[in-house]
Structure 1
Amino acid sequence: MNTNRVVAVLFIAVFCLTAGAAIVSANDTARGEPDIEAYAPETAFVPGEEASLDVTFNNRGHLRDRGQDNLENDVITAQSATATLLADEDDVPFDVRTGTQPIGDIGEGVTGPISFTVVPDADAEPGVYEVPIELEYRHAYRAELDDGAVIRSERDETEVVHVEVEITDDAQFAVVNIDGDIQAGVPGTVDVTMRNVAEQPAREASVTANPVDGDISFTSGTGATNTYVEEWESGENRTFTYRIDADGEATQRPSTFELDVSYRDVEGADTSARTVRTGITPLPEQSFSAASLNSSLRVGEDGTFEVLIENDGPRAVDDVVVVFDNEAPAIEGVVDQPLPADPNVVPRETQAAVGTLGVGENATVTFEAGIRTDAAPGDRVLNIATRYRTVEGDLAVSEVLDVVTPVAEEQDVFAVSPATPNATEPANATPGETVRYDVVVRNDGDEPIEDIQAKLFVDDPLDTDDDEAFVTGLEPGEETTVSFAIEIDDSASIKSYAASIDFRYTDHNGDEQLSDTYRLPVDVVSSDEEGFLALLSDPIALLTHPISLIGIAVGLMTAVYKRGRLTERMQTLRTKIESWNK
């Protein structure tokens, strides 16, 4: 190999090594910066109407020296970027409601959208405006590899980008008035007045109303409703009436109500206005309170109780009817059907008309109810509700109110005892005889009673065809004697038999009642005792035959003593002697 050839080979080798090192060095270092532009795809703003400006950022990046991909990404990425919408310039008719917005890293490509709330000035002229946005971020203007590690040279940057927005003169709409209140728990009517606030008319417009808040809904049950307007001039008001239900549990706060208008513009093109939002605040649910007053309820009887009902508002109500219902309403998830609140209470009257009740006004109503005989005395919880008409004329019913009412213990209306002697014609009841049976009846209650029908019941060997008696009336504490005829069968034994008596009567409220049954004794004696006692009824015989009188008396005492009736017969004898002395 000659010298020239050797030199050439060495030169080529040195060149390749140098070029390779240069290439490696170039791949290990990148220089550049972000190149960011801003866009707003939807910018048809309306003067005076709050809107959202959604901005998207596109970073194309600018590289002065290319390097490995990761190094290039480092130098064109805007790190921890923030954006501020500038509105302090005279040529931007916006009021910005949103402050500085954090974005994060803006890498190559699209980032966003980032939302700003703006309100174009009410007198803003229609047209296209460039809105400045100030971006602040940090970026690496140089990135290189050194022994496998990335070394970045960074700096903070502030730059202003612009986004184009349009303020339109197309027809736009605003809510200018809401008339009519709705109330929780009952349907109501609301009139919403809207105005075309732009300079252009809207033709063949369709207004779509949508109650967004779950607390309110259309009475028809539809999710949204549409109203047609053929011609809607600039500055013209239109009123739309909606019938709305508010949930019974709705709180008193503005519920969102949205209205969208689609229409044809002056050129005949289909277009839509921005959504108009307003608030509808339901009044609280109509409320009543109830308190128990006087009560004459008593176990085993019909009685009355008074209730004070008061309108707690928020509205006056008409055609008020207070309802007494002894059923507890069904409870969702617990019971499907109403249940008796108190099975021992039997309503006799269930409604009481009141009329109109203003807010804070009250009225007293009276109900009648019966208390079963097996009920215990004490406080009873009774259910009271109020039915009324709303301002719309609809019937509504309040929630059920618990009224605690006392029930007194059972009291016998009658005190009943046999007359002494109870068999008066003849003086004693003997087998085979028919005797008159007298019963003393006293009104033991606190109120007068009338039309008292007494009914006597006996069993074999006693019988009766004269088993009823009538008393016109008895005042409290007053007593009278009623009489019946009892037939005694020949086969009757010498002993006491049971008779029973009850009374049907009219109480002080004019209601017919049936008393308890009372038991009475009927004493049947032997005919021998009747012979001895017959002599005692003839005073002349006793005066002319003193020995006979003594014998009869001794025999009488012996017979009575044997039957355990000495005291009763001595009393009979004493009574007869006193009558003779008169």
Structure 2
Amino acid sequence: MTPGSETTIDVEINNDGTFIDGNEADRSAVTTARGVVVKLRAPNSPISVNTNSVPLGEITEAGSPKTASFNVTVPDRVDPGAYDLRVILDYSYTSKAQNVDSGVPITVNQEQSDTETETVPIRVTDDARFEVTELETELRVGEEGEITGELENIGNDDARNAEVSFAPESETVVALESNVAVGDIPAGESVPFSIPVEVTSDAEAVPKRFDLPVSFRDENGIRQSDTDPEFLVDVGEQRDAFLVEPVNNSIPAGGSQPLDLRVTNNLDEPVTDIEGKLFADDPLDSTNDETFTESLDPGETTTVTVDLSASSSATIKNYPTSIDFRYVDSDGDSKLSDPYRMAISVTEPEDGGGSPLPLVIGLLIVAGAVAFLWRRGTFDGINLPGGE
């Protein structure tokens, strides 16, 4: 045990009851301990026992030993050395069993209860032991990330060839590396560590606690371990890989024009080979609906362009469109983003419906000329019907 640790002490209870005299058939009756209850106490000791008592039931002489487990805490400032703990056993038993034969067998028992106390020595050592400090991490649902921090040796002994193990019990947090070597850690000093992990899309954005056991070699070259280190991290909400903003999101009915989109890398890593695909339903359409961007650094923005048209019969209102992106992340993995929905506003036709007017005026002018010639009766020496 080491200072500043919480651990479990297992106390094994074995029945060594003695059969003194009598019928061998009664042996089990007088050597069985019933209702066994075990208590662990630490009088005159800085060690705290957190488990009050452990019931074990019946323990027979011929049966296997039973184990009582106790949770104990060793405070931070406990001096290394040996400490005595007291084990108290309460139980009942049959001290005598006698068969009286008077035609019908009758067993006469003499019941007793007893308490026994034993002393169990434990040793508190000041071996190398560790704490996680300077924790810095940003984990998000649906993304890969890193858990980084410092591992401090708070014991008095040096640790050599130390290694941290990360094996989360959660099904939604996956260790991309389960064991990471951190090297030698002298007493009182710290070394950095970094563990790559992935948070699946099924995870919840909640705080999570993880254990970080450390294995190392002590000053004698013996492999030791400290299972006490732990840490707490916050898992953030899932975020979009890209931010998409239309530069011009309106189009007249019956018109066709380029649609410019500002695309920003919203991740913490560079991405490459970014292929965009626009999806538009009737009355919107696109004859050039794909884009390509070679690379984007974190936070970098580019403008991509697709073609967009609206049918002349389109109702004047907003219509949904969407675009998604296939890209390659910094690990070389191909990924597909979620669709990004955008509202496109179809507006009135640009000509305002005034084009038929010149044709009507022209027809009126021609009709007026014919009426004038009719009243005059002739045109360039030609007789007109009905003339004077």
Give TM-score scaled by structure 1 length: 0.49
**In the alignment, which of 349, 354, 364 is matched to residue 477 of structure 1?**
354
Partner residue of 1:68? 24
Q: Is 1:100 aligned to 2:53, yes or no?
A: yes
Distance in 2 separating the partners of 1:236 and 1:170: 14
Aligned-partner SS, 1:214: coil
Partner residue of 1:542? 383
Distance in 2 separating the partners of 1:255 and 1:136: 39
Which letter maps to 1:99? Answer: N
Q: Is 1:266 aligned to 2:224, yes or no?
A: no
**Aligned in 2, Cα 1:318/1:51: closer, same or farther, shift over 3 Å?**
closer
Distance in 2 separating the partners of 1:249 and 1:304: 38
Which letter maps to 2:148? Answer: D
Indicate conservation of the 8 Å contact 1:297/1:369, yes or no. no
Listed as ranges, the matches of 1:123-522 within 5 Å are 123-146=77-100, 147-218=104-175, 221-222=176-177, 224-229=178-183, 231-251=184-204, 252-263=206-217, 265-274=218-227, 276-286=229-239, 295-296=250-251, 298=253, 302=256, 325-326=277-278, 342=281, 345-347=284-286, 348=288, 369-371=308-310, 381-384=320-323, 399-402=338-341, 446-448=349-351, 476-479=353-356
Aligned-partner SS, 1:75: helix
Which letter maps to 1:176? Answer: T
Distance in 2 separating the partners of 1:94 and 1:154: 37
Give a deviation string over 1:249-298, Cα, whole Å, max 9, x none: 222131424222121x2233343344533333322222699999965474
Measured on the aligned residues, the alpha-carbon RMSD in Å equals: 4.9
Aligned-partner SS, 2:140: coil
**In the alignment, which of 47, 50, 63 is matched to residue 6 of structure 2?**
50
Distance in 2 separating the partners of 1:375 and 1:192: 58
Distance in 2 separating the partners of 1:242 and 1:59: 49
Distance in 1 separating the partners of 2:379 and 2:270: 80
Q: Is 1:83 aligned to 2:22, yes or no?
A: no
Indicate conservation of the 8 Å contact 1:128/1:164, yes or no. yes
Indicate conservation of the 8 Å contact 1:324/1:351, yes or no. yes
Partner residue of 2:363? none
State percent identity of aligned pairs: 21
Aligned-partner SS, 2:14: strand
- Would you say how many aligned residue pairs link Structure 1 and Structure 2? 355
Which letter maps to 2:58? Answer: D
Distance in 2 separating the partners of 1:355 and 1:447: 40
Q: Which has the higher helix share?
A: 1
Aligned-partner SS, 1:248: coil
**Aligned in 2, Cα 1:268/1:539: closer, same or farther, shift over 3 Å?**
closer
Which letter maps to 1:119? Answer: T
Indicate conservation of the 8 Å contact 2:275/2:327, yes or no. no
Which letter maps to 1:152? Answer: N
Distance in 2 separating the partners of 1:306 and 1:476: 27
Measured after TM superposition, the shift of residue 227 of structure 1 is 0.7
Distance in 1 separating the partners of 2:109 and 2:378: 146
Indicate conservation of the 8 Å contact 1:326/1:342, yes or no. no
Indicate conservation of the 8 Å contact 2:10/2:68, yes or no. yes
Which letter maps to 1:253? Answer: P
Distance in 2 separating the partners of 1:124 and 1:250: 41
Distance in 2 separating the partners of 1:181 and 1:406: 38
Measured after TM superposition, the shift of residue 188 of structure 1 is 2.1
Distance in 1 separating the partners of 2:310 and 2:355: 26
Gaps of 5+ in 1: 1-44, 310-314, 328-340, 358-364, 409-444, 449-474, 482-535, 544-548, 551-576
Give a deviation string over 1:184-205, Cα, whole Å, max 9, x none: 2222222231222221112333
Give a deviation string over 1:172-215, Cα, whole Å, max 9, x none: 22223422222222222222312222211123334444344332
Which letter maps to 1:173? Answer: F
Measured after TM superposition, the shift of residue 130 of structure 1 is 2.4
Aligned-partner SS, 1:254: strand
Indicate conservation of the 8 Å contact 1:94/1:119, yes or no. yes
**Aligned in 2, Cα 1:355/1:270: closer, same or farther, shift over 3 Å?**
closer
Indicate conservation of the 8 Å contact 1:212/1:258, yes or no. no
**Aligned in 2, Cα 1:112/1:303: closer, same or farther, shift over 3 Å?**
farther
